[in-house]
Structure formats: structure tokens, C-alpha cells
């Protein structure tokens, strides 16, 4: 039975980002069954726009895309126009999001991160229940059986950190679309004090109670290889929290200004389906993207091309460079912008990066 891949860029007013990715395994139509129902459907929503975008996003998921159960939800970073809409979806009285696996940067630590918009939304650890990150985190556990897979990732820019937490680069190299598609048979592994031992990493009960567990209370282990059906589309993380995947080994974190560091903490993903490749990277900036060019197109030719990408950071001046576009050799580039948005996106530099670098070479 043939697999198919759908990538939906959901139109949002003003500024905002929401991308829906769907993989379907549908029987071949026959005279007796000309419109077969898919046997398997896997769906992932990458970012959800602003809080007030949630009615649009929910309507699109449930009516246009006919999603009955969202399998995966991703917040690429903690800017208001990317993750606040996810919080609003999680607070809806809808079972569409009750069993969703959730990925994000992890705990923001004490690194300040400013959200887009007219509000001061620092994401440091203030004892303030109105902190947007805390509101987002609490919304995950507001109902249902959701699993926040990155609950114990310390997103600080040093890979050392607390021994009881996963490092900021933990998600890199992992496939996310198929987590939870198969039953995990992990046995409970608690010490006499009720702590869960995850390969030497101890999570005490308060953390364990808000971690990532299946319906039987067993820990979800993303390192356990999921059974990905042959020929099915995949979504793999290639950068997170300023770290990125190298050809042979992990490349360390980069520096930059507070604003560039915040943007370059974005989770970046490569979607693959047979020979097709699609790139999506939140608000990542040029230096982070350029370091990934040989990962994305190792041979620097049309055989290794990335066929489509979403221009990072809405086409801002610091987003995708001409050299990056030229290396990836895409035949389609998408920019998420509402008309007359307050940031003036896309910037002319973003447009210039595209012009003259989009390939029209036919493939056979």
C-alpha cells in the first residue's frame, strides 16, 4: 500500500507560524473501493502561531485536514508567535490533543528569551504564574494523556549542566513522527525511594509525575527505536538549542547576541519521504543554517537536494542566506507571513536570498 506525505502551511493573520505534516498509508483504489480510507495516519503540528490563532489552527486540523488525533506537537522555540497557539490548543475542550507527544527545547533555565509582540514575555525562572512558559508547561498537563518527551531537557547552551537532566543537544538525530506509534514494553525501573533510573539519570517523584509516561505509568524512551513502516515519511531533528548535527560528530554550540542565540535555539527538522526532503527551522538564523548545509545536501548537487523549505524567521534580514539556498537547491520556498505584519517580514534580504536561487530543473 502506498504512503503519501502532506505538508500544510496554515495561513495565519499578522505574524505566526503553523505547519502541519501528515503521513498516510492508503490502499490503492479499486473499482469496488474507489475512495479507500487510509489504514494508517500520522500527524505532526510544528508550531501553532499566537494564542488567538488557535481557532484557525484547530479548524484547519479538524475540518480541512480531518485530523481526529494529533500524534505529535512541536514548539520550535518560545516566541509568542510560535508556541502560544499550542498552549491555546492544549487548553481546548477537545480530545484531538489528549494523547499527543510534545517536543520543545526543554526547560529554558535562566537564559532570557524575548517573545515577539507587544508584551514583555521573558522566559527566565521568575516565580510568576503568568510567565508564558509556565502557562504553556501547565497547559500540557491540563487534561488527557499527553507526553512531553523533552520534559527533562536542560536547554542551556552548555552540554554539561545538571546530571539529573538531559543535555540541550539530546533531541538531535532522533526521529519524532513515529514515537508512540508502537506499544512500549519498558519495565518500571524505580529505586527503593521511588525514583526512576533512566540509564543512570535519576528523576525524583515530583519530576517523574510531570514527565513522559505511557498509560501504564511506564517511562517513554525515545532512544528505543520505533518501528517505522518501510517507505513511510520521517521527521528527524538536526539542530536544537544552538547545537547541530555534524557529518561525523556533533558540532558544539555557537555564540552570538542574545537575540541571535534565542533564535538559534530553535529546533530544526528534516522531513524525508523516499528521495524528497523538506527543511523547517523555526526562527533559526544564517550562521546556524549555514553550518547544516553539508548535512542537508552532502553532494552539493541535484541528487542530494532539499526539494522544499520554509524560509526561517519569516524571511527576516538575518534569516536564510543566498549561499544556503544555493546549496540546498530547492524548487519551492515558503514564507509564513500575514499581510501588513508589524515586523515588515519578509525583509528584502530574505527575498533576495530566494531570487535567482530557486531551481527549476526537472527531475526524472
Tell me the fold of 3-30+37-110+130-189+206-362.
Metallo-beta-lactamase; Chain A (3.60.15)
Cell 527503593 belongs to 192
Average pLDDT, the chain: 77
Burial status of residue 105 (CB atoms within 10 A of its CB: 0-12, 13-18, 19 or more) = buried
pLDDT higher than threshold 50 for residue 136 = yes
How far apart CA 168 and CA 201 sit, in angstroms, is 15
Q: Is 87 helix (H, G, I), strand (E, B) or coil?
A: helix
Is-contact 259 316, C-beta < 8 A?
no
Name the one residue in this structure whose C-alpha cell is 518500571.
Answer: 188
Tell which residue, 46, 66, 48, 67, has the closest CA to residue 56: 48
| 3-class secondary-structure state, position 205 | helix
Cα–Cα distance for residue pair 362/12, rounded to 1 Å: 32
Predicted confidence (pLDDT) per residue in 322-359, tens digit: 888 889 999 988 887 766 666 656 766 667 667 766 65
Residue partners of 44: CB distance under 8 A and separation at least 6 = 20, 21, 22, 70, 71, 72, 73, 74, 176, 177, 235
Pairing of the two strands 243-245 and 234-240:
antiparallel
Comparing 90-94, 261-265, 293-297, which segment has the lowest mean pLDDT?
A: 261-265
Contact 245/295 with Cβ under 8 angstroms?
yes
Residue spans of the domains in the chain: they are 3-30+37-110+130-189+206-362
Tens digit of each residue's pLDDT (9 = 90 or more) over 239-290 = 999 888 875 556 666 666 667 778 888 999 999 999 999 999 988 888 888 8
Q: Output the pTM of the full model.
A: 0.80
- Alpha-carbon distance of 42 to 101, in angstroms, equals 12
The continuous run of DSSP H or E covering 9 comes out as strand 3-9
Between 317 and 123, name the one with better pLDDT: 317
Amino acid at each position: 500500500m502506498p504512503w503519501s506525505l502532506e505538508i500544510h502551511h496554515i495561513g495565519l493573520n499578522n505574524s505566526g507560524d503553523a505547519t502541519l505534516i501528515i503521513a498516510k498509508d492508503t490502499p490503492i483504489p479499486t473499482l469496488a473501493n474507489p475512495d479507500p480510507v487510509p489504514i494508517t495516519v500520522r500527524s505532526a503540528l510544528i508550531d501553532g502561531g499566537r494564542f488567538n490563532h488557535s481557532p484557525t489552527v484547530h479548524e484547519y486540523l479538524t475540518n480541512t485536514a480531518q485530523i481526529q488525533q494529533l500524534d505529535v506537537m512541536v514548539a520550535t522555540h518560545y516566541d509568542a508567535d510560535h508556541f502560544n497557539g499550542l498552549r491555546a490548543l492544549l487548553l481546548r475542550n477537545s480530545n484531538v490533543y489528549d494523547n499527543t507527544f510534545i517536543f520543545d527545547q526543554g526547560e529554558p533555565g535562566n537564559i532570557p528569551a524575548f517573545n515577539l509582540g507587544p508584551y514583555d514575555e521573558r522566559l527566565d525562572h521568575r516565580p510568576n504564574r503568568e510567565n508564558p512558559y509556565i502557562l504553556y508547561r501547565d497547559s500540557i498537563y491540563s487534561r488527557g494523556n499527553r507526553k512531553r518527551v523533552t520534559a527533562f531537557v536542560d536547554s542551556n547552551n552548555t552540554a554539561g549542566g545538571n546530571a539529573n537532566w538531559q543535555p540541550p543537544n539530546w533531541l538531535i538525530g532522533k526521529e519524532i513522527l513515529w514515537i508512540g506509534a508502537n506499544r512500549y514494553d519498558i519495565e518500571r525501573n524505580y529505586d527503593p525511594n521511588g525514583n526512576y533510573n533512566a540509564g543512570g539519570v535519576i528523576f525524583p517523584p515530583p519530576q517523574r509525575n510531570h514527565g513522559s509516561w505511557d498509560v501504564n505509568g511506564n517511562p517513554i524512551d525515545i532512544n528505543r527505536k520505533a518501528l517505522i513502516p518501510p517507505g513511510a515519511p520521517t521527521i528527524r531533528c538536526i539542530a536544537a538549542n544552538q547545537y547541530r548535527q555534524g557529518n561525523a560528530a556533533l558540532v558544539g554550540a555557537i555564540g552570538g547576541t542574545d537575540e541571535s542565540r534565542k533564535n538559534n535555539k530553535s529546533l530544526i527538522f528534516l522531513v524525508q519521504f523516499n528521495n524528497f526532503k523538506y527543511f523547517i527551522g523555526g526562527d533559526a538564523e544564517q550562521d546556524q543554517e549555514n553550518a547544516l548545509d553539508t548535512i542537508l545536501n552532502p553532494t552539493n548537487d541535484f541528487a542530494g537536494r532539499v526539494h522544499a523549505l520554509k524560509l526561517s524567521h519569516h524571511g527576516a534580514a538575518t534569516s536564510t542566506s543566498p549561499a544556503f539556498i544555493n546549496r540546498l537547491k530547492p524548487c519551492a520556498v515558503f514564507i509564513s507571513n500575514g499581510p501588513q505584519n508589524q515586523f515588515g517580514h519578509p525583509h528584502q534580504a530574505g527575498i533576495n536570498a530566494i531570487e535567482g536561487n530557486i531551481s527549476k530543473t526537472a527531475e526524472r
